[in-house]
Amino acid sequence: MQPTIMPPGKQRASPSEDEPPAKYFRPESAPTATAGAKAAANGVEPIPRAATPRPPKANNGLVVVHWNIAGLSSLLKSPTRKALFERLLASESPDIIALSEHKLSLPKAAHTAQELMGLAKAYTSHWAICTAKQGYSGMGVLVKKELKVVGVWMDQICMLKEGRTITVELEDIYVVATYVPNSGADLKRIDLRIGTWDPELRAYITRLQRMKPVCLVGDMNVAHLDIDIWNVGAKHISKSAGTTPRERESFGRTLREVGLVDAFRELHSNVTGCFTFWSTRSGNQHLNRGLRLDYSLVSRSLVDDSLPLRLHCCDLLRDYAPSGDHCPTIVGLKRV
């Protein structure tokens, strides 16, 4: 089956940056001479990661994975990352997997997407493509063929033409995958993010929740709580994209006003050392010096036992990102 590839503003109904350049993966043959690697080699201990045990996968449930892959082409060219992606599909067997920051452009999207689908033959794919700038942003969603999909919509939030959201409607829930704009160097986009994106996101999720509960996953480019920042006391934190007081407060406002729950913190409230992003320029993955920028948010009704579909588990899958950058997140729901 051919993948669905849509530029922003297009939508399809089914019949049934962003980060700074430092985040990009280095070639696998490059030497690891970062400050973090040197510190680890000299005996500096990494920040301990608290245990976050997961129950067995629920029968007849729904499992959603999100992963900022920092370029689909680079993932497919890397034997290591490609193998990790295949292991993720085999081990976790997600019903839906969202891939943010794929960086595909329209001329090359179909070929690259087809190559990926050779690794994910049990899935159909949908791709939102950035047309404002080539090789930038983008969101892809793979959906198991056996799942009954009501509809799929692209870029319903803040029409930036950057391919930042895909909504998949199932019979009893909306799954929204998003790649929130980074406020950028010198916080050049912070007003767009706080003043336009966040309010439009709140309004959109609120509309969806009037019909069905929502599971919102993605790279949200904000570290909400102090324990989501490895060096929260550092002077630059309040001035850095993703950790400014304005961004953190706006994220909290979204949770409060829309009635969304941070699934990871709901189940693992005070655990520390649990991050989803590590700077590869600094080699911070060697010392577990990270930020939690990637989230699984669910409607409050999915945690208060008022619906037959309920939150079951949520975790951060560090093992799939040994070289740093972003790791996948996973959220599981169960039907009771």
Give the burial string for 248-276 (b: 16+ CB within 10 Å, else e): bebbeebbeebbbbbbbbbbbeeeebbbb
d(CA 74, CA 250): 33
Say if residues 162 and 182 touch (Cβ distance below 8 Å).
no
Return the closest-CA partner of residue 217 out of 159, 160, 168, 151: 168
Choose, from 95, 155, 198, 219, the residue flagged as catalytic: 219
d(CA 177, CA 97): 9
For strands 214-219 and 174-179, give the pairing.
parallel
**Edge-to-edge strand ranges of the sheet holding 294-299:** 11-12, 149-154, 165-170, 174-179, 214-219, 294-299, 260-262
Neighbours of 107 (CB within 10 A): 9
Residue type, 171: E
Choose, from 174, 179, 204, 295, the residue flagged as catalytic: 179
179 is known as an active-site residue: yes
Neighbours of 183 (CB within 10 A): 25
List of residues 6+ apart from 27 with CB closer than 8 A: none
Residue type, 297: L
Which residues are identified as catalytic?
179, 219
